Structure 1
Amino acid sequence: MIPLFNLFIFYPYRTEPYTCHKMHIFAKSIALNYRFHFTLSRSSVYTIAVVLAAIVVMALAILSRLITAEAFRSNEEFARKAFLTKYELVEREFKAIHTYHHLLQEMVKSSASDTYEMQFSVLNRLNDAQNLVQYNWYFHGQSDREANNQKLLKAALKKNASGHEWRKDFPDDSIRNFLISGGGEINWISYDSVSLSGRETYFGSTINLDQLHEHFIKVGQNQNNYAFVFTKDGTCITHPEQKFIGKNIFDFTDIRLEDLRDLDSNANNETTALSEYLGIDVTRFIKPLKTGNFDGFVAINYANLLIDENVRQTKFYTAVIFLSTFVLILLIFVLFYNATNIAYRAKEKSELEKRQLLVDNEMMHKEQALSQLRQLKNQMNPHFLFNSLNSLYMLIGFDKNKAQEFTMNLSKIYRYLMVPPEHNLVKLKEELAFVEQYMVLQQARFSEEIDFKLNVTSDKALTKKIPYLALQTAVENAIKHNIATAEQPLEISITVDDYSVTINNTLQLKDEMPQGECFGLQYLQQAYRFFGKYHFSAAAKDGYFVCKLPLLH
């Protein structure tokens, strides 16, 4: 069974405060259970405090110097490792583009021309599903060179490109490449041609350079650096600042051509430079990048400010730890010196027991929620998969295209279910996309019995959060408890506004309620209560059942 719900790991939210509290009570209990049979003079206490303070200050000064030196060395090493990681990422993506181009070539050579349109359409849909940035295209060439160029641009850009602003060709590459600017965007077009049956067929890929850079940001979003790629003659292919794309990097950076001429493919150039993008000093690493359709360099820039900031933070935390330790030592000393009486110990013990009861009570509620989530998992997975496979079996017999689409949606649904979010919160747009795929599968089974509508009135609400599978739970609750026939279809609508998501369904209840009829609503109520939201509501109204899910920031 797929581990659908590794959900509601509540403990990270509150474990630390309770642990600190127990340590505090433990320290106090030590002070309360040990009493001195002698007393120290006030002057002795002051002397001990001064000596401790002097020791702490000296140790802090020595350790601060050691930490500063080690932190600089460690951060510089981290910058080099981050550079290698980023370079490998960029190199892998460029090699994938080249490999993909050869796959297109093999497909064109081995397929009949009347199947090109379908095959290229399937490839582009797969690219979209896998969040790949390239768009594939083909066309049959003409004898007229100018007409051929216009046809190429129209196929590559999906529109007429007679008004493009500029074009930059790369004459030295084995695969024909050029950059073209127009309509507020810059595209990298790679193409080739084959001669089949006396006719020249052109095929290739189009990559929007802004989308390519966004892709690099996503796959390397945890790295504190930025990269740009440029050709041997200095043409910038990708850069976080769009205005630099297509320009010569030797004009807007302090990189010099002579520094790159003798650079070996396995070596890299490391210098300190002023960032043209951030306006601060950076450590710049430059290394050659050569693939089948590109020959140039990758420049990766690591902000020196981050190194300095990390050192300052380390020194600050060290000082805090030392001072906290010093204060804790003094506190323990004072606690021993001023041992409290038996009544105060009894009071502390009573408070501790009360707090422990609160902790035990909260843990009980969390265990209950976990139990509900496991139950929801056990209910959904086998039954849903069984029905889906039955539907797929029927679709294969009379509509293979729909069967393929059904299989793709089923795989997306289980991919979403197999990787639950860390804190059980997802963006609304992700949950909506999942519910739409879920309803496509349901409507494949009940095409006339279910009428589903989605209305989004606020785009900014799509970035807000919602408990994981909250929408699916509400929709499944509607399908599970209501009659749905071709004569009396079940109407389900989802409406999104700035602050909530409302799920409405026609109220046409079954004569016999399924087992666990309130389980889904109880789960939603528990989830929102855990996140401190008490505005969740679900009730029948004017012939409809209305479920309102508040959005979380």
Structure 2
Amino acid sequence: MSLIVSGAVFHRSIQPLRNSHIFAPVKQEQKHIYGIKLRGRSYIAILFVVVVITIVVTYILNRLISDEVEDVSANISRSSFVKKYDNLQNRFLLLQKPLYDAENLALESSDTVTSLQRLRILSAIQISDSSVVRNWYGIVPEGGEQTVFVHGAEGNTTSLRENIRSQLQKGKTGITGKVLPGVAGQYLWRQTIYFKAPYGTVFYGYDLDLGVVHQLLLEVGKYTQSYAYIFTADGVCLLHPDTVHIGKNVFDFSAVLPSDTISGPSDHNERVVASKYLDLEVMNYVKPLHIAGGRYYIAVNFLKSINEEDINRISKYSLYIYLLSTLLLLFIFYYFTRAIRIQYRRQEQLRQEKAGLALEKEVFQKESALLQLQQLKNQVDPHFLFNALNALHTLIDQDKALSKKFTVKLSRLYRYLIQAPEENITRVEKELNFIAEYLFLQQTRFADKIECTTTVKEVASLQRKIPYLSLQTLVENALKHNVATREHPLYIGIIVFPDKVVVKNTYQPKEYEQEGSRFGLKYLKRIYGFYKVTGFKTGIKDGFFYCELPLM
């Protein structure tokens, strides 16, 4: 009821604005300007047509050349990307070749002794590689204990052995890959293969120094105007031209996004990004790297300007012609229309100033009326006060102690309503205290028909601000527009997150929605719009209506 009455007040308050004659002088000025333009049209019509045709033709010609330049540039960079991708993938497959060699040697062996001898030879050959920090191998006979042979760098290998034992206990087979920190700031790429043989489970693995791998792969694409980096699905960087980034998360230091790892219609994603490494605009390509042991991706960046530099010369001359002809025709056009343009400019400026002032006045008064109206609606709600006094009257006869408590909370509630903040925003803590009083009064009336909870995820958020009476507005809407019974009680939850407050309630809409049921939500949206704060939203999900109030 109060909502309909408030709506009537609102319409009366803004009706004078709609019926005002503030735009009458503006219309007269527009008619005068229109007459001036008609008198000058006969002198400039032919010249205007010539100017337009010339500009359009030269513009279309220039755009056709520019589009061709972009297509050629894109094809060049895309072709270079494919070559670089194939080269790097082949190099990484070579880094995994010892795993497949170990599998072939072990499967060709008829017993454990022969297999261990062959794996020992392979291990000795591989350890001479400068990129290999250590390698290991072993065989677990059926029902027996595994033996792990570790070669290479000295140090504690307990964690390595425990990791192998854990993988074997899980019955792991296939290739596993992992990036882990080494010593003195180095990062290692651990590769291990587990497979079944007739005489037991065989494993072979090694740690590669990613810094050394970086040096070995410097020759790949050395003479192309691009650079590449390889990373895991979690963003851990394996290869980068700046070794400082190896082992770090590419999503933190590059323009690559997690969504780039999701391939679209093609087998790769491409877009123009700002390279933090070069501090220039580049064409970025991201594609899955098809190697075993995990999900890996390669990102290749090409300088956008390199491919275009030579080709753009083709369009430069047409651009000169376009500019010169346009300037010449515009100068002639300007000479014949100068008088009309000056007079029109003066009249247009005056019209815009008057129209702008009138529009600003109307918008200001309209928004001010909305804010004041909503505040008045929340402060003086006769229906709520009537229900509260009826409940108090009943409590006085039934429970005097509760009636005293009810009276105190009712007085606190209206004291808070009377002392509204000037900026219409207040601390979350105050709003929670107020809504606690409000819910107490409502629960006295509804009893077990409503359930209310309040959760604070971060105490520091209580000192941040939200719109004044925002929680009460949402709770009141929940009570007013939803069914609440003992069989289906209405649940209302308030959750304070570090950056927002979420108010949700079970979505049990009444059969007949009251007029203006979204008025309170429009009020909150206008408050956030006034302070230019984004993130306010509402919706219905999983049987709950929810509203998110971003903290200010």
TM-score (norm 2): 0.37
TM-score (norm 1): 0.37
Asked which structure has the greater CA Rg, the reply is 2
